[in-house]
């Protein structure tokens, strides 16, 4: 059974950095996509970044390119989201999401990801 456990998040001032972590389990030797989504109050959930476990290929939303980096540690089954130069508009609940084994998933499409973490709050003050 696939399980995702997030950690990290918190409150920082604009310009600061945070790192989110997502521990994945239940995939065995299969390949899969992991993405980070975020949802601010009153707004729709939006894709932030994704990474493919097989090749390490990544995708990013334009709003975070150059500031956020998604990476993976396959040996320890962790995916990270390093967030630098944070802005108040980055404030949101951040969710780790994962695809079914061997399934393709689009980084911006929440419905492509059947597995979700519990979410972690990121708050950026100006």
Tokens of 47: 């894709």
Tokens of 74: 């396959």
CB 92 within 8 A of CB 81: no
- Nearest CA among 112, 22, 117, 118 for reference residue 74: 22
Looking at residue 60, its pLDDT comes to 97
For the chain, which ranges sit under pLDDT 50? none
Looking at residue 28, its pLDDT comes to 83
Tokens of 55: 């090749």
Looking at residue 123, its pLDDT comes to 98
DSSP 8-state code for residue 100: P
Looking at residue 8, its pLDDT comes to 94
Looking at residue 29, its pLDDT comes to 83
């Amino acid at each position: 059974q696939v399980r995702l456990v997030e950690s990290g998040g918190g409150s920082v001032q604009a310009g600061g950095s945070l790192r989110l972590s997502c521990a994945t389990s239940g995939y065995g030797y299969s390949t899969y996509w992991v993405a980070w989504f975020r949802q601010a109050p009153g707004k729709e959930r939006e894709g932030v970044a994704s990474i493919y476990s097989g090749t390490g290929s990544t995708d990013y939303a334009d709003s975070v390119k150059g500031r956020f980096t998604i990476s993976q540690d396959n040996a320890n089954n962790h995916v990270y989201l390093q967030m630098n130069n944070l802005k108040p508009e980055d404030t949101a609940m951040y969710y780790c999401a994962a695809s079914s084994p061997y399934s393709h998933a689009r980084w911006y499409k929440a419905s492509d990801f059947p597995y979700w973490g519990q979410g972690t709050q990121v708050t950026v003050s100006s």
